[in-house]
Amino acid sequence: MNLDQMQSMWQAHSEKLDECMSLNKTLLQKIQSDGNKSELNKLILTRAIEGIVFLCIVLSLGSYMASSWSLTAPVVSACVLNIFAILGLAGSIGQVALLSKIDFSKPMKETLNDLIAVRTHSLNVFKLLILSAPFYMAYVFLGYDLFFDVDLFSLMSAETTIRFSVIALIFGLLVALLINKLKPENRDNKLIGWLYQEISGRRLTHLLDQFENMEKG
C-alpha cells in the first residue's frame, strides 16, 4: 500500500464512520456538566487544594509566632518552616496559574512548551521544598512545644546538639547533591530517572526533544 492508496482508504473509512458510529449524548452531557472530571481540571483542583493547605499552615504558624514571639528554638523553628510553607503556597499558586493558561487549541509545539513550563515549575518548587530536609529538627522542636509545652532545645546537652547538627549537615549535603543531579542529562540514574518521571514528565520532555531535533536536522 502506498500513501495515496492509504489516503483513499482513509477517506472511505471517514465516510463510513459517520454512518456506523453513534454518540452517547447522555454521557456527553455528563462530561459538560461535570467538567472537573477532566484530567486538567483535576490537576488544577489538586494544586488549588495544596495551596489552601499551605495557606492554612502559613496562617497557623504566623499566629503561633505572633502569640509566643521570643528568640526561642520553637519560634525560630516556626519561622523557618513558615518560609518553606510560603514557598509551597507560592508554588501552588504558580502551578494553578500555569495550568489554567494551557490551551489545547494552540499549535502542538506551543502546547507542549506550556506543559513543559508547568513541569519545570513543579520541579523547581520540589527542589525548593526539599531544602527543608536539613531543618528536620525544626519540626521536632515545634512539635514538642505545641504538644508538650517543652522547649526541647534548651534541655538538650551540647553533645546531642552537635550530633543533630552533624545529621542536619549530612542531610544538607545529600539534598545539595540531589538538587545538583536533578538534571535531564542524569535521567539514566535510577533514582533521578524515577524522580524525573514523577515530577518532570519524561514523555513530554522526550516529545519536546523530538521537536528540537527535527529543527536542528
User: Is there binding between residue 19 and another protein (CB under 8 A)?
Assistant: yes
The single residue listed with the C-alpha cell 490537576 is 43
**Residue number, 28 or 162, with CB nearest to another protein:** 28
Q: What is the DSSP string of 150-189?
A: --HHHHS-HHHHHHHHHHHHHHHHHHHHHHHH-SGGGTTS
Residue 91 CB, nearest distance to another protein (Å)?
21
Query: Does 106 sit near another protein (CB under 8 A)?
Result: yes
Query: Does 66 interact with another protein (rule: CB under 8 A)?
Result: no
C-alpha cell at position 100: 489554567
**Would you say 181 or 212 has its CB closer to another protein?**
212
182 class by beta-carbon count within 10 Å (0-12 exposed, 13-18 middle, 19+ buried) = buried
Q: 107 to 126, contacts with another protein by CB under 8 A?
A: 107-112, 115
Considering the complex, state which of residue 39 and residue 159 has its C-beta at the smaller distance from another protein. 39
Quick one: 127 or 202, whose CB is closer to another protein? 202
Helix (H, G, I), strand (E, B) or coil at 139: helix
Cα separations in angstroms, 210 against 103, 122, 174: 21, 22, 33
The answer to whether 44 and 100 have CB atoms below 8 angstroms apart is yes
State yes or no: residue 216 binds another protein (CB under 8 A).
no
Residues binding another protein (CB under 8 A): 1-3, 6-7, 9-14, 16-25, 27-28, 31-33, 35, 37-41, 103-112, 115, 203-204, 207, 210-211, 214-215, 217
